[in-house]
Amino acid sequence: MKEIKDWTLSLGIAVVGALLFQNYVYAQTEVHNVSMQNTLVEGQRLIEDKWSYRFNEPKQGDIVIINGPEHENRLVKRVIAVEGQTIDMREGNVYIDGQKLNEPYAKGQTFAGLVEVPFTVPKGHVFVLGDNREHSSDSRSFGPVKLDSLEGKAVFRVWPIDAFGGLS
């Protein structure tokens, strides 16, 4: 009987620990749309770092998971500008604080959409875009994203195996 209690207690602690780890530190997430092609494609599985943004602000270029009131779905997007930066879109290109952004990951041209540019990112927000610029619902349509809506940062691709590795 004591051995059954010990096993039950150990198993319970392991399950609770695993659930806490997945909810607050690292989790697996899946890409569900084409807005991040060619960087990420539908069906790929990613490791999401939920811990970093508790201590650090997002940086330009981070690939983030958004889960907030800005959109009805969880989204995977790239941070293009952080608070205080001014974003402009001209001739299909993105400019941050007057400097053309080098975006080797971007597919297609970038146009302003519903946002009036130039646009300065307000305090406590980031401006996000999908890498597949002509087929992405992002800050151009729903505005800047609150830092509280950032669930985490995508850091690693685990599936499919042939695409296994870090993200950039």
Is residue 77 annotated as part of the catalytic site, yes or no? yes
Report the number of secondary-structure helices (H) and strands (E) in the chain. 2, 12
Annotated catalytic residue: which of 2, 5, 10, 35? 35
Annotated catalytic residue: which of 2, 50, 52, 77? 77
Would you list the DSSP string of 8-73?
A: HHHHHHHHHHHHHHHHHTEEEEE--SSTTTTTS-TT-EEEEE-SGGGTS---TT-EEEE-STT-SS
Is residue 35 annotated as part of the catalytic site, yes or no? yes
What whole-number distance in Å separates Cα of residue 140 and Cα of residue 129? 8
The residues annotated as belonging to the active site are: 35, 77
